[in-house]
Structure 1
């Protein structure tokens, strides 16, 4: 990637002028403007200040090196049903590597000391994954209620549990509008609060949804831990460099829409604010070690859940760069990210039968009693 992607065409169209009008202002031919916009040639260096003054943006913004910071922030709307309706396959692939079942059993029996049947409500239940892994190890008679905004995910959840022996219920609702009418013994969520614009509000609803003596459990990833937890044999992947770049993006997302990728570390403090007691935090012990002897389904799931299973078109890469620039990264920083991902993607595709990688998600499990 060149690092130079002129924004002249976009700025010109937003200003509502033709190529000829811009050319007349600059004292050049409209063919020159056309060549700039087609990427055939670059403006003379002496014209850049005039372009900057005319469009009221910096030269770096003209050259596409820095984002058009005065442009409206584009939310990915990760708290909407539309966002998750086509993520079923991704969720199924990514959840494969989330838990060691024996550790989950240890939490239920030894840490949370659940010996009697309980009623659970799962906020952001998706396709009911937590219900699938928890119900078989909870005391007989326990029930599971899932709340989610996606029709697609809820339909899958209902289908999975349709003929099961467990008592389950699924509710479609945006958590912002969800009113808890019943009380539960446990409110739980997994990798959910990180996607919300007001995660503290949802945590408060979780607290309100449990009985006195009930438990609130939040299982969340901290993105810095997640980045640091990846090593791929034979690549020059640098998680520290990547995290430094991504911190700028995360900061913009937090300031612009309240989505907090550091939420995993903050939950215990929020729990304390909301009056929970006996608050503690555990770290999930699951680490994925991918090697040539791994089940190929696991390798494929690992690749697909990280979007390393297929090559990206130049247009797709450019869309990622533009999205990241919209979140405060320079073009050079966004390109470093895209290129680092491309190195990993190439490694997995070319070495499918001989992959060596290790990934620790660093899932933080925060819990407290009401």
Structure 2
């Protein structure tokens, strides 16, 4: 059996989650938008190391319970360790969330950056809906990749020289047609929720804007999370894009852009980034 990819990405996942949300915004969602005043039972599809549980539980009414499901055995082990000494009711299940069935046990079903990796995201959404009691909620925190890509500013560099939005948009659209996986699913979920029969569907956008300014010593805690990885060996990177139906010219440009961005952004480079994560929710 091949290793589960995300089991090897725990540190990356922990770093990157710092970029997405302000806690006061999540608190606003819970208390002013979702109007959660009593303890709730939550199931998290593709919970990873329990990121959403760590964000939600401190803000939810005391006695709330969190159940995380993920196929990554190492992720689940790490989640159990993180939650071991926390004062919250939690349970973690190592399993494929598309094969585990819950019978209307929960008040809220959530997922975070999961549906974009699914060949059939509607299947997962149907399972999430089926796990929730009548009048409960389904909520999906998912990205809109081309919007995310537009949310970067590196001080001293024109964005177009490191983030070619047009060819990235076409690449994401081709990926969807080729694989069914949709990196832009976040902006489409309100339509999918309506078509699944959820009521009172809304979509909000995270207000988190990350600021790294070394001259003012601002954002030093998120510098590591904002770093851009080196694209690696040139020919292998270009070959991978050719397989995703980019032209040779586009693939070469994409390599040069990502390589330039990884080299340009250092601890002395000021930058801002707004992920603009979409948060879609509806009532069963």
Q: TM-score, normalised by structure 1?
A: 0.73
| Structure with higher helix content | 1
Aligned counterparts, 1:204-353, within 5 A: 204-238=126-160, 242-292=164-214, 293-303=217-227, 306-307=228-229, 313=232, 316-349=233-266, 352=267
User: Given that residues 102 and 131 in structure 2 are in contact (C-alpha distance below 8 angstroms), is that contact kept between their aligned partners in structure 1?
Assistant: yes
Q: Which residue of 1 aligns with 2:108?
A: 186
- Please report how far the alpha carbon of residue 344 of structure 1 lies from its aligned counterpart in structure 2 after TM superposition: 1.4
Any idea what SS the aligned residue of 1:215 has?
Answer: strand
With CA pairs under 8 Å and 6+ residues apart, which has the higher RCO, 1 or 2?
2
Root-mean-square deviation (Å): 1.7
Find the aligned partners of 2:235 and 2:101 in 1 and give their Cα distance: 41
Shift of 1:175: 2.6
Partner of 2:225, secondary structure, is helix
The answer for the alignment partner of 1:52 in structure 2 is none
What secondary structure sits across from 2:141 in the alignment?
strand
How much does 1:178 deviate?
Answer: 2.2
Structure 1 contact 237–344 (Cα < 8 Å) conserved: no
Shift of 1:328: 0.5
Runs of 5+ consecutive residues of structure 1 not aligned to the other structure: 1-79
2 CA distance for matches of 1:278 and 1:339?
45
Deviation at 1:182, TM superposition (A): 5.2
Runs (4+) of structure 1 exceeding 2 A deviation are 294-297
Deviation of 1:282 after TM superposition, in Å, equals 0.7
Work out the number of aligned pairs and report it. 281
